[in-house]
Structure 1
Amino acid sequence: MNNILIIEDEVKVSEVIKAYLQREGYNVHCAAKGYDGISLFNKINFQLVILDLMLPDIDGEEVCKIIREISDVHIFMLTAKVELSDKIEGLNIGADEYLTKPLSPRELTARVNALFRRVDSNKVTILSYDNGRLKIDKERRSVQVKGKYIILTPNEFDILYTLASNEGKVLSREQLIRNIYGIDFEGSDRTIDAHIKNLRKKIEDNSKVPKYIITVVKIGYKFGSIRDSKQ
């Protein structure tokens, strides 16, 4: 079941949209404030965020930027702004669709259904590297190295999948912490380093000369291999 997050301060609007989407079989969560939405996003694996730009605590544009730092989730922006420049700005900061109010909930539901039809037709559940030497199965949360299953902790898997699904993109420790632990995490960002060290021992041929999890000095980490095939 696809999870959808609605971040909208008009409760009546979010409840109507929620009702329409639930009838289509989606699992829908609502937040009336931007920071509450970000907190929910860091706790649940969402496939779509429906984001209003006019929020009481933080601009929707800022929420979009924060989410985009840690995820490539689909984002639909809802706004009363109708200027072309506003739409372009919204798309430039990471929105997939920019929808103006008032919006028919039936139209929004149709757009959501169309999105997931496209996604499901191109869905990748297993990421494979080096002719199958390393396989990461998102649905089963399992990892194989040279055909053997490797035991990872939940946090180790989340870090590995986050880096692999953001192939080639450098992620800071802070970005990884937001994605794995949420914005309320109060520990040291060096916690990530400890997990990376353990991951390298489990998946690399030589943990001192890694080919998958690459350190980018003074910035963070990136995934250093290319998928066997783009699916």
Structure 2
Amino acid sequence: DYVTKPFSVDELLARLKAVLLRGERRIEGPRTLTFAEIEMDLDARTMTRAGKPVFMTRTEFDLLAYFVQNDGKALSREMVMHDVWGMDYYGTQRSLDSFVANLRKKIEKDARTPVHITTVHGVGYKFQSEAGDQAK
């Protein structure tokens, strides 16, 4: 990974953190992620909502798995794009916003008032597996 000049200290720290996390991140134990009425099978790359299969694109699946694995953390858009798509991804932040909007339609009861994938203004997004966490 590299950073071009000029760069902010925040950008440098975010990229360093992403590199360190990539080295640590190993999923051990069950290869199923569950929250609310959603179940994701990481090996089969499938998702169900209330027991019914939900079609997801590869990108949507990878993005949601990343969010679930980072439950409760505020994640910058740059970090999400880098960690999910890699350093050679040339999409815009609006591309990420579009994928998040699609995910909200698939996992939220009401995509207009999300409780699981929330926007952290000035930062990016935060995933919360428990809807009640938002009130804290």
Aligning the two structures, in what range does the TM-score lie when normalised by the shorter sequence?
0.7 to 0.9
Partner of residue 48, structure 1: none
Q: Distance in 2 between matches of 1:134 and 1:168?
A: 17
Q: Distance in 2 between matches of 1:63 and 1:224?
A: 23
* Number of residue pairs the alignment of both structures matches: 119
* Structure with higher RCO (Cα < 8 A, 6+ apart): 2
In structure 2, relative to structure 1, the CA distance for the partners of 1:210 and 1:63 (3 Å cut) is: closer
What residue ranges of structure 2 are gaps of 5+ in the alignment? 3-13, 131-136
Correspondences of 1:71-220 after superposition (within 5 Å): 72-73=24-25, 123-130=29-36, 133-220=37-124
Any idea what the Cα deviations from partners look like across 1:61-100, whole Å, max 9, x if unmatched?
Answer: x9863323567426xxxxxxxxxxxxxxxxxxxxxxxxxx
Q: Which protein shows a greater Rg? A: 1
SS at the partner of 1:214?
Answer: strand
SS at the partner of 1:215?
Answer: strand
The answer on whether the counterparts of 1:134 and 1:146 sit within 8 Å (CA) in structure 2 is yes
What residue ranges of structure 1 are gaps of 5+ in the alignment? 1-34, 37-61, 75-118, 227-231
Q: Distance in 2 between matches of 1:160 and 1:149?
A: 15
Moved over 4 A (4+): 69-72
- AA paired with 2:31? T
Partner of residue 59, structure 1: none
- AA paired with 1:155? T
SS at the partner of 1:139?
Answer: coil
After superposition, the CA RMSD in angstroms is 2.4
Query: TM-score under structure 2 normalisation?
Result: 0.76
Q: How far is the alpha carbon of 1:180 from its aligned partner?
A: 2.0
The answer on whether the counterparts of 1:70 and 1:176 sit within 8 Å (CA) in structure 2 is no
The answer on whether the counterparts of 1:125 and 1:139 sit within 8 Å (CA) in structure 2 is yes
Q: Distance in 1 between matches of 2:50 and 2:77?
A: 29
Partner of residue 5, structure 1: none
Correspondences of 1:6-85 after superposition (within 5 Å): 35=1, 65-68=17-20, 72-73=24-25
Q: How far is the alpha carbon of 1:201 from its aligned partner?
A: 0.8
Q: Distance in 1 between matches of 2:45 and 2:117?
A: 18
